[in-house]
């Protein structure tokens, strides 16, 4: 076989369907990884200040086409929350109101699975706005990376991250233990990006643990399972 033949492959095309990717099983699933920034944690009185999101298809994270919007809050931003998210009132004064941002976000998500770290908090705000605006919560399937972490930890997966004592369940602690860079400014999109990479790290490990179908992933990633997964019988939650 000559080099050029070799190079350009002038051979019969074999429809070889190989499992090239480590996440072949969930490789077709489409995800939107999201993070929100809030004025506080109380869904009755606090507000969404920004939404950051990006798309993944299986383990493949899209660099372009991210969603990142600041929201003009209805209430006044107070000093306490500015310290947390660093968004100044002047920055959001000219921004769109939550109604149009949420509509855009719903459009961005389509029917994709929504993924987030400690997602139930973000969801409670997103759903509140969605109910108000559309009369119903978001219909997308959801996955919480914290639930996935707890599930893997409970399984005593042999990866060092899951057997060493817990440093903390916060996104940055977890990211650091996976060697995901966390430097730089932190906004909703930056955190969504970190979450997405964490999700990316989990995928091959989950596949090893027999999680092949999206349904299984949704079951163990259920945001409601967070506590049960981590504070499992046997009390291995040693942090």
Q: What phi, psi does 54 have (nearest 5°)?
A: -145, 165
Nearer to another protein, 57 or 103 (CB): 57
**In terms of C-beta density within 10 A (0-12 exposed, 13-18 middle, 19 or more buried), how is residue 132 classed?**
exposed
> Partners of 55 in the beta sheet?
32
State the virtual CA torsion across 78, 84, 85, 88 in degrees, nearest 10. 40
- Between the alpha carbon of residue 110 and those of residues 43, 60, 116, 162, the distances in Å are 24, 18, 16, 33
> Rounded to whole angstroms, how far apart are CA atoms 51 and 70?
7
From the list 79, 107, 160, 234, which residue makes contact with another protein (rule: CB under 8 A)? 160
Give the number of residues in contact with another protein, rule: CB under 8 A. Answer: 41
* Residues 199-238 as x/- pattern, contact with another protein by CB under 8 A: -xx--xx---------------------------------
| Shortest separation between residue 109's beta carbon and another protein, angstroms | 18
Nearer to another protein, 59 or 141 (CB): 59
User: CB under 8 A: which stretch of 28-36, 58-66, 92-100, 138-146 binds another protein?
Assistant: 58-66
Nearer to another protein, 130 or 145 (CB): 145
CB atoms closer than 10 angstroms to residue 229: 23
Q: Which residues bind another protein (CB under 8 A)?
A: 3, 6-11, 13-14, 16-22, 54, 57, 59-66, 68, 158-160, 179, 185, 187, 189-190, 193, 197, 200-201, 204-205
């Amino acid at each position: 076989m000559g080099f050029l033949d070799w190079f350009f492959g002038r051979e019969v095309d074999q429809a070889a369907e190989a499992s090239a990717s480590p996440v072949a099983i969930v490789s077709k699933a489409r995800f939107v990884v999201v993070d929100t920034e809030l004025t506080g944690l109380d869904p009755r009185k606090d507000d969404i200040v920004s939404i950051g999101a990006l798309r993944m298809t299986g383990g493949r994270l899209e660099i372009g086409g991210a969603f990142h919007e600041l929201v003009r809050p209805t209430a006044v931003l107070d000093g306490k929350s500015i310290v947390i998210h660093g968004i100044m009132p002047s920055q959001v004064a000219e921004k769109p109101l939550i109604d149009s941002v949420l509509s855009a976000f719903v459009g961005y998500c389509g029917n994709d699975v929504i993924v987030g770290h400690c997602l139930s908090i973000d969801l409670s705000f997103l759903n509140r706005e969605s109910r108000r605006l559309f009369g119903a919560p978001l219909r997308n399937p959801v996955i919480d990376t914290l639930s996935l972490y707890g599930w893997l930890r409970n399984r005593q997966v042999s990866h060092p991250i899951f057997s060493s004592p817990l440093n903390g369940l916060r996104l940055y602690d977890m990211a650091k233990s996976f060697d995901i860079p966390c430097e730089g400014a932190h906004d909703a999109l930056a955190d969504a990006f970190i979450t997405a990479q964490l999700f990316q790290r989990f995928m091959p490990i989950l596949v090893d643990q027999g999680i092949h179908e999206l349904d299984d992933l949704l079951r163990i990633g259920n945001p409601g399972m967070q506590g049960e997964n981590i504070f499992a019988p046997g009390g291995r939650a040693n942090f």
